[in-house]
Structure 1
Amino acid sequence: MMKGDLLIPSMLERAERFFPKKEVVSRTGGGVQRLTYKEIGRRTRQLADRLQQAGIGHGDKIGTLAWNHHRHLELYFGVPGIGAVVHTINIRLSPEHVVYIINHAEDRILFVDDDVLPLVEAVYDQLTTVEAVVVMTDKDVPETKMKHVYSYEEWIASGDPAFVFPEDLTEEMPAGMCFTSATTGNPKGVVYTHRSTVLHSMSLSLADSAAVSESDTVMAVVPMFHVNAWGIPYASVWMGSTQVMPGPRFTPDLLASLLSEEKVTVTAGVPTIWLALLRELEQGDYDLSRLRAVICGGSAAPRGMIETFEEKYGVPFLHAYGMTETSPLATVSRLKSYQEKLSKEEKLDIRSKQGLLVPGLEMKVVGGSGEVAWDDEEMGELLLRGPWIADEYDRDERTEDTFRDGWLHTGDVCTVDEEGVIKIVDRTKDLIKSGGEWISSVDLENALMAHEAVFEASVVAVPDPEWQERPVACVVLHEGKQADQQELLDFLAPRFAKWWLPDDVIFMDEIPKTSVGKFLKRALRDQVQAHYENQQS
């Protein structure tokens, strides 16, 4: 067989050659812009040439602090196109973590959206390796005290639109870099190669996965700074899909309008995005008839939300699972052909789980006595390996805690049913051990969010002198809806053993979340502890 490296520039070249008329619809601070893949290709080549003019070469890190738009997409391809590494930085992290990440990565140039510029200005004096800041804006660059600040459009203007990507790239070269969300300690860097990115994009395009194809109009709501928007921009360019990029500080009504007006067929985001969208759909008149898949990941989707999308709005819901270390796609919840004959409830039971392992990966689920039985009951930690699974953290001494014996130890506890379908039960650190038995906070949360009055719910453990730990539910109600503790406990009672039921329900205005929209249980535990201390004082 012929030998050939799997390279990110070849994905863009395919779009330029075969789909030059297809569009990227990009919402920026200046409005909505429409560029063809021919134009995106020309601009990306200008960017790549300009980076080389600036002395950027193999292995150099280029940081981005930006939303989802066409300029960020150009960086996705232009930076690795010359052998450098595009390092997407989570703009919602604390300033301390942003400084740590930039310095740890040794970013040489930062590409920053104009509305994020104040964040960079505030920490600029602490950045040890940054040589220049390029501002991505439709307007003039805001006044700043920082040195070596340039306008993106002016900066790439001197680049050659016919630039040819170098031939000395290899598929094992680093191409991208993301840092994990840090709930404790500093974030950890995960480096992706050209090979891993191409293979991951291929997995997203499989029929039994996300099935990204040329006929799709794809809108990644998940930020491009969060695990490369789950790899969706790469797969969409490669397949020639139309892309809709929602830009800065979007709102539920803006998302709903883009889905409707641009006739989006595939969209992707975390559960909190879709809960907010459902609230908007109840108030407005939107046409989602072209939408063939809402892809949901990041945390478990409430069963009631899945049912509402499908039954009320006729929109298929696609549950998926992954993490920064898995690029991120690892499982997708789709029914097997013979399961289509099951009842609606049985099918919903399956599709509310995290699903089947995607082709190309291997898994083990390991409990205290070895691999667990595929009986949908025995719990164990999910272990993964494969060509787009990381095998270490970037220059991080904590690597051995996660990567052992050739496997990624995910820290996620799951069950597996007889069909091989994975259900994530909890994070190892979030399982509640009561009287020697395990209680899944995720199962309780999803059940609570099926109640018509509940908007969000998160369950945490509190110490108990008799049982070791007991669950407490923290609940945010829908605006205008009412429910009390007893009503919610009665709602849960038929679904769980009595000892699973929360000892208390605390009603809150908001549940703390991580920078990517997951419930931040560490902060929530602190709030619950303070709640009980205040009651005692």
Structure 2
Amino acid sequence: MMERPLLISSIIDYAALVHTDRQIVSRDAAGRIHSYGYGDAAKRIARLAHGLVALGVRPGDRIATVAWNDYRHFELYYAISGIGAVCHTVNPRLFRDQLIHIFNHAEDRFIFVDPTLLPLVEGLAPDLKTIEGVVALADTSEMPDSAMGSLQCYEALLEGQPETIDWPELDERTAAALCYTSGTTGNPKGALYSHRSTVLHALASITGHDGWLTPHHVFMPVVPMFHVCAWGYPYACPITGAGMVMPGPKLDGASLYDLMESEQVTLAAGVPTLWNGLMEHVRKNGAGFSSLKGIVCGGAAASLQLVKDIESHGVEFIHGWGLTETSPIGAAGPPGAIPAGLEGEERQRYKLKQGRPMFGVGIKLVDDDGHAAPHDGTSPGQVLLRGNTVISGYFDNPEASKDAFDADGWFRTGDIGVMDADGRLQLTDRAKDLIKSGGEWISSIDLENAALGHPAVAVAAAIAIPHPKWDERPLLVVVPTEGQDADKDSILDYLRGAVAKLWVPDDIVFIDEMPLTATGKVSKRQLRQRFDGYKLPTV
């Protein structure tokens, strides 16, 4: 058999040839729409690649992007990796110290930045040790004012460059992309993806979506392109010919809804907090969806109420799960994976499972002693992974790498879950978020999902509070639903009929807004800090 390297550049070449006119639509911060086909995108990517070489970018260089989901960011994905450099997508929502650590640890040479995020980069610049230049993602006529003498224009970089390129034939194990974890424990850690792992992830993702990524679909990646390569969709969609709609920085419910309707989006992917916002907008305005057929949800556990809200509009809820360290999708549960015969709420509850492993990903569950947990749907264990799209170690971080794998090379995810006899995974919690009370484990995720069934609960988070008798007891932190009277006793009475007696929280606290991590998940670390020393009424 012939053997050809699996390279990211081959994806855009294929899309340009086979899906030439399938559209990539972008909306910028001002609400302006830009659209072009994969064929024209490939021409601009070639021009950008030549421009990068002229700029002095060399194979192996880390090139940072600080940008939203739009066509220029898409071009950077392919041009940087295509010439053998590493596309380092940086999350602008991280804390200042984390960002400084990330840029310096990666030793980025150049930063490509959206004009709306330029003030952030300017504020960091004095502490960045290796940056040689900054490029604004703008036209020459719209260059932002800046005190940075090294600021260059993206479109000027492309000016006069050829629209074709002979991509270098790289080793498929060459590093292609770099993403850092959100740093929930210590400094963020880097996950380095190769061309091979990226292409294999895209192909596995396509099969895992069970026919939901085709030339007949228009896909909106609401998950940011700075977060784990937008879950790999900018690579999977060009292979299948699915159109793409890039929402830019405006991710509120109204903005997402309007763009979905105007561009006739059929499938979208993002975290639960974004979908809660979208469904709240739909509910308030008595709206519906004219084209949307499915929503992919990942990044955090979804509630049964969210599944019900989405599916009440005839839209399929599709669960997925993964980590930065897994490229990221590790398991998925498309509608075709749901057993026949399930109807109504029983079917919707089944969708709370994260799904079956992606092709090429091995999953096993182990107990506290490292022994394999049975696949009976009830015995919990820590979730371990291995596969072609799972990192073999953190970038330039041997200490963190040493602790991340077991003796057989399986990656420790830190998630706790159960698996049924058919290989379907359901997460019950993060190991650090479990609540141990009286020798029994309480799943914060299941308790939160139960609470969300009460109409006065918009967002819920359960955290452990020390207790002299029970070791730990749950405190439920709630953001009330707008327009509803949030009553502690009413919610507690509801939970007494929904969960085991041991699980009923010892107290409920109402807050106006839930703290979020840089990737849109509820930050339990901040909640634990906020309620450190909190005295439960049962003490």
- TM-score bucket of the superposed structures, by smaller chain: over 0.9
Bigger shift: residues 147-156 or 179-188 = 147-156
Q: Does 1:495 align with 2:530?
A: no
User: How far apart, CA to CA, are the structure 1 residues paired with 2:81 and 2:336?
Assistant: 38
CA contact 1:222–1:270 (8 Å) conserved in 2? yes
Q: Deviations over 1:269-292 (max 9, x none)?
A: 000000000110013365524222
Aligned length: 533
Bigger shift: residues 210-219 or 128-137 = 210-219
Q: Residue 166 of structure 1 aligns to which amino acid in structure 2?
A: P
CA contact 2:365–2:373 (8 Å) conserved in 1? yes
Q: CA 1:183–1:482 in structure 2 vs 1: closer, same or farther (change >3 Å)?
A: same
> What residue is the counterpart of 2:102 in the other structure?
101
CA contact 2:29–2:250 (8 Å) conserved in 1? no
> What residue is the counterpart of 2:222 in the other structure?
221
In structure 1, runs of 5+ residues without a counterpart are: none
Q: Which SS does the other structure have where 1:429 is aligned? A: helix
User: How far apart, CA to CA, are the structure 2 residues paired with 1:12 and 1:511?
Assistant: 40
Q: Residue 472 of structure 1 aligns to which amino acid in structure 2?
A: L
Shift of 1:338: 7.7
Bigger shift: residues 418-427 or 128-137 = 418-427
Q: Deviations over 1:13-40 (max 9, x none)?
A: 0111111111110111351111111211
> What residue is the counterpart of 2:154 in the other structure?
152
Q: CA 1:123–1:207 in structure 2 vs 1: closer, same or farther (change >3 Å)?
A: closer
> What residue is the counterpart of 1:529 in the other structure?
532
User: How far apart, CA to CA, are the structure 1 residues paired with 2:521 and 2:359?
Assistant: 27
> What residue is the counterpart of 2:11 in the other structure?
11
User: How far apart, CA to CA, are the structure 1 residues paired with 2:273 and 2:3?
Assistant: 44
> What residue is the counterpart of 2:278 in the other structure?
277
Q: What does 1:1-150 correspond to in 2, within 5 Å?
A: 1-30=1-30, 31-138=32-139, 139-150=141-152
Shift of 1:422: 1.2
Q: Residue 403 of structure 1 aligns to which amino acid in structure 2?
A: F
User: How far apart, CA to CA, are the structure 1 residues paired with 2:238 and 2:535?
Assistant: 52
Q: Deviations over 1:169-200 (max 9, x none)?
A: 12100000000001221100000000111011
Q: Which SS does the other structure have where 1:340 is aligned? A: coil
Q: Deviations over 1:420-471 (max 9, x none)?
A: 2211111111111111111000000111112222110000000001111000
User: How far apart, CA to CA, are the structure 2 residues paired with 1:6 and 1:26?
Assistant: 28
> What residue is the counterpart of 2:357 in the other structure?
357
Q: Residue 258 of structure 1 aligns to which amino acid in structure 2?
A: L
Q: Which SS does the other structure have where 2:340 is aligned? A: helix
Q: Does 1:507 align with 2:515?
A: no
Shift of 1:251: 2.2
Q: Residue 479 of structure 2 aligns to which amino acid in structure 1?
A: V
Bigger shift: residues 175-184 or 399-408 = 399-408
User: How far apart, CA to CA, are the structure 2 residues paired with 1:85 and 1:308?
Assistant: 40
Q: Which SS does the other structure have where 2:433 is aligned? A: coil
Shift of 1:46: 0.6
> What residue is the counterpart of 2:400 in the other structure?
398
User: How far apart, CA to CA, are the structure 2 residues paired with 1:142 and 1:87?
Assistant: 23
> What residue is the counterpart of 2:319 in the other structure?
319
> What residue is the counterpart of 2:245 in the other structure?
244
Shift of 1:513: 0.8
Q: Deviations over 1:330-360 (max 9, x none)?
A: 1112456782212423222211111111222
Bigger shift: residues 507-516 or 210-219 = 210-219
CA contact 2:179–2:227 (8 Å) conserved in 1? yes
> What residue is the counterpart of 1:467 in the other structure?
470
Q: CA 1:236–1:297 in structure 2 vs 1: closer, same or farther (change >3 Å)?
A: same
User: How far apart, CA to CA, are the structure 2 residues paired with 1:447 and 1:184?
Assistant: 28
Bigger shift: residues 485-494 or 270-279 = 485-494
User: How far apart, CA to CA, are the structure 2 residues paired with 1:208 and 1:135?
Assistant: 35
Q: What does 1:343-422 correspond to in 2, within 5 Å?
A: 343-369=343-369, 370-396=371-397, 397-404=399-406, 405-422=408-425
CA contact 2:310–2:317 (8 Å) conserved in 1? yes
User: How far apart, CA to CA, are the structure 2 residues paired with 1:222 and 1:23?
Assistant: 19
User: How far apart, CA to CA, are the structure 2 residues paired with 1:273 and 1:208?
Assistant: 21
Q: Deviations over 1:396-442 (max 9, x none)?
A: 12111112321110000001123222111111111111111110000
Q: What does 1:418-497 correspond to in 2, within 5 Å?
A: 418-497=421-500
User: How far apart, CA to CA, are the structure 1 residues paired with 2:330 and 2:217?
Assistant: 22
CA contact 1:108–1:130 (8 Å) conserved in 2? yes
User: How far apart, CA to CA, are the structure 2 residues paired with 1:60 and 1:86?
Assistant: 9
Q: Residue 430 of structure 1 aligns to which amino acid in structure 2?
A: D
Q: What does 1:323-334 correspond to in 2, within 5 Å?
A: 323-334=323-334
CA contact 2:318–2:335 (8 Å) conserved in 1? no
Q: Which SS does the other structure have where 1:319 is aligned? A: strand
User: How far apart, CA to CA, are the structure 2 residues paired with 1:337 and 1:52?
Assistant: 46
Q: Residue 520 of structure 2 aligns to which amino acid in structure 1?
A: G
Q: Residue 146 of structure 1 aligns to which amino acid in structure 2?
A: M
> What residue is the counterpart of 2:340 in the other structure?
340
Shift of 1:320: 0.6
Q: Residue 389 of structure 2 aligns to which amino acid in structure 1?
A: W
CA contact 2:375–2:421 (8 Å) conserved in 1? yes
What is the percentage of aligned positions where both structures have the same residue?
41
User: How far apart, CA to CA, are the structure 1 residues paired with 2:54 and 2:299?
Assistant: 39
User: How far apart, CA to CA, are the structure 1 residues paired with 2:211 and 2:121?
Assistant: 35
> What residue is the counterpart of 2:164 in the other structure?
162
Shift of 1:323: 0.6
CA contact 1:257–1:286 (8 Å) conserved in 2? no
CA contact 1:432–1:439 (8 Å) conserved in 2? yes
Shift of 1:267: 0.2
CA contact 1:260–1:287 (8 Å) conserved in 2? no
Q: Deviations over 1:460-514 (max 9, x none)?
A: 0000011110001000111111131121112112232211111001011011110
> What residue is the counterpart of 1:305 in the other structure?
306
CA contact 2:189–2:395 (8 Å) conserved in 1? yes
User: How far apart, CA to CA, are the structure 1 residues paired with 2:376 and 2:247?
Assistant: 42
Q: Deviations over 1:109-159 (max 9, x none)?
A: 100000100011011011111111000124522222212211111122132
Q: Residue 323 of structure 2 aligns to which amino acid in structure 1?
A: M
Q: CA 1:157–1:173 in structure 2 vs 1: closer, same or farther (change >3 Å)?
A: same
User: How far apart, CA to CA, are the structure 1 residues paired with 2:501 and 2:14?
Assistant: 58
User: How far apart, CA to CA, are the structure 1 residues paired with 2:252 and 2:342?
Assistant: 37
CA contact 2:222–2:251 (8 Å) conserved in 1? no
Q: Deviations over 1:57-96 (max 9, x none)?
A: 2111100000000000000100011000000000101111
